[in-house]
């Protein structure tokens, strides 16, 4: 049955994953998530909530993170194409303030694992996109955090100049303006960040 390929990125813990896809004239089948195979590549997390977003071309969602109930995420595109971005917010991390940016599409079937302590966002490249992501903790509306998508210090090469943004995403602070106590701490020995 399906194998799982895992590739590291420039940010510790951010992983690009792909599983075997079996296709024929009827369509395709793939195994999106199987706990034992994910644990074998270093993702033992338990996912407790699945979310789906539908967006049109030009929408930018992010950059989001959870403060009180940090969430690791497994992100994939069910339909369309997105420019996906992860920013390391973990104080003390060797990659603090750096980002990973890549394209995820329904045709490539790749998934991105975003560890706790990182902000996540994406913009839609196709006419429409459906994004599905698994989370390791429940959404906490009072514990939301965000970083301004266009923070010049992050130097993210967004492929869009004037995105469609929610009022909340338009008003996030720059990373330098976020109080340190609202940022996670890098704890590599424990396998993840502490808040």
CA separation for the pair 189, 41 (Å, rounded) = 17
User: 64, 65, 99, 120: which one is catalytic?
Assistant: 64
Distance of CA 35 to the CA centre of its chain: 19
Q: Is 184 exposed, middle or buried (0-12, 13-18, 19+ CB in 10 A)?
A: buried
Active site residue 133: yes
Helices (H) and strands (E) in the chain — how many of each? Answer: 2, 13
Active site residue 38: no
Q: Please tell me whether residue 190 adopts helix, strand or coil conformation.
A: helix
User: 28, 133, 139, 172: which one is catalytic?
Assistant: 133
Alpha helices in 13-62 (DSSP H): 35-40
Question: Active-site residues: which are they?
Answer: 64, 133
């Amino acid at each position: 049955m399906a194998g799982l390929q895992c590739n590291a990125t420039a940010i510790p813990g951010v992983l690009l994953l792909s599983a075997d896809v079996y296709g024929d004239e009827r369509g395709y089948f793939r195994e999106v998530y199987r706990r034992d195979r994910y644990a074998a590549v270093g993702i033992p997390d338990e996912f407790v909530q699945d979310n789906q977003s539908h967006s049109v071309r030009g929408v930018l969602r992010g950059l989001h993170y959870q403060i009180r109930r940090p969430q690791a995420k497994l992100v994939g595109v069910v339909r369309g194409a997105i420019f996906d971005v992860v920013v390391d917010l973990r104080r003390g991390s060797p990659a603090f303030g750096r980002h990973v940016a890549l394209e995820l599409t329904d045709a490539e079937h790749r998934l991105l694992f975003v560890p706790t302590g990182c902000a996540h966002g994406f913009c839609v490249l196709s006419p429409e996109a459906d994004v599905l992501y698994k989370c390791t903790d429940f959404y906490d509306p009072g514990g939301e955090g965000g970083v301004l998508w266009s923070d010049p210090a992050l130097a993210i090469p967004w492929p869009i100049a004037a995105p469609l943004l929610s009022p909340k995403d338009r008003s996030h602070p720059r990373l330098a303006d976020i109080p340190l106590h609202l940022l996670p701490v890098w704890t590599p020995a424990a396998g993840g960040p502490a808040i």
